[in-house]
Amino acid sequence: MSKQISINEAVSRIKSGMTVMVGGFLAVGSPKKILDELLRTEVTDLTIITNDTAFQDKGVGKLIAARKVKKVITSHIGTNPATGEQYNNGTLQIEFVPQGTLGERIRSGGAGLGGVLTPVGLGTVIEEGKQIVNVDGKDFLLEKPLRAQVALVGASVSDASGNLYWKGNSKNFNPLMATAADLVIVEAEEIVPVGDILPENVHLPYIYVNYIVN
């Protein structure tokens, strides 16, 4: 059975109120076509897990500017004025997570772990409401795993089965997020026959991928 579907079919699987992971770093490596198509739908009240909120006119930032997002779990919002504006006026919830911790929480979600222990955030607002665990006399914050109903990721190359390859820094959070969602939709710049990606160049195996769009 082919994993390749149209962008419209892909977006139809995203419903209002869902939690969605979106790959990318300031929109680099983001599934931009899928996000643009999602912008044209009536879908709203999304919880987005993403490294940053990109720009007002790029990537996931467009969804925030269009007020389709109710909550963001992220490490950085400074490049998107719409995020800060909505946060300050109380129409957008933001859970700030240090970037490395965000990656580890997603990794934990993908690996089926109970969380990660980190000293990052101790003694700061990040500590509020979190469990502190002492290991050999040293305190750590217990950061719980993150998972999503859908992950939208970009890839440089996918083969027909969904084995993925990323060029340069477009890899960023994409492979991590693809392990931590119930449904994974990949927007590939190029789709090639199975076997065209050398085994040592497969950054994420097909087993994690449900659908591919181009």
- Cα–Cα distance for residue pair 61/51, rounded to 1 Å: 11
- Cα–Cα distance for residue pair 91/204, rounded to 1 Å: 36
Residue 2 within any structural domain of the chain = no
- Percent of the chain scored above 90 by pLDDT? 98
Indicate the pLDDT class of residue 99, thresholds 50, 70 and 90. very high
The count of domains in the chain is 1
Residue 70 within any structural domain of the chain = yes
Indicate the pLDDT class of residue 187, thresholds 50, 70 and 90. very high
Residue 173 within any structural domain of the chain = yes
Residue 170 within any structural domain of the chain = yes
Range of the domain at 27: 7-213
Q: Which distant-in-sequence residues (6+ apart) come within 8 Å of 8 by Cβ? A: 37
Enter the tokens of residue 31.
């599934």
Residue 1 within any structural domain of the chain = no
- Cα–Cα distance for residue pair 14/43, rounded to 1 Å: 7
SS3 label, residue 50: coil
Indicate the pLDDT class of residue 2, thresholds 50, 70 and 90. confident
pLDDT digits 0-9 by tens, 68-96:
999 999 999 999 999 999 999 999 999 99
Q: Which distant-in-sequence residues (6+ apart) come within 8 Å of 163 by Cβ? A: 194, 197, 202, 204, 205, 206
Checking if the pLDDT of 98 tops 80, the result is yes
**CATH code, domain carrying 177:** 3.40.1080.10
Residue 17 within any structural domain of the chain = yes
